[in-house]
Amino acid sequence: MQRERLDVRLAPDEADRLRKVAMARGKTVSDVIRDLIDAAYEEIARARRIRAAEELGAMEYFDVGTPEELKAEILTKYDDA
């Protein structure tokens, strides 16, 4: 996979903490940054899915009847057209 190069400026203490995280995880700094980006993106996607589920749950619904009743209603609508 081809990777895009990105220049990020960090304060010395931020860069030091990032290197310490990488060492503790046995990964490169680049790998840690990619992992953090993936985790942040997944957090946003999960929040979006939860919000969608909550919106669906809040929707009003009505009883549409049995399949036979629905079929009869559809056929009646087409007969009137």
Interval 34-54: pLDDT, tens: 999 999 999 999 999 999 999
C-alpha of 34 from chain center: 17
pLDDT for 35 equals 98
Q: Please give the Cα distance from 18 to 29 (Å, whole number).
A: 7
Q: Please give the Cα distance from 15 to 24 (Å, whole number).
A: 14
Amino acid at 35: D
Question: What token pair was written down for 27?
Answer: 């990964």
- Tens of pLDDT along the chain (81 residues)? 899 999 999 999 999 999 999 999 999 999 999 999 999 999 999 999 999 999 999 998 888 889 999 899 889 887 765
Q: Which residue has the tokens 């030091």?
A: 16
Q: Which H helix or E strand runs over 51? A: helix 29-58
Q: Rg of the chain over CA atoms, in angstroms? A: 27
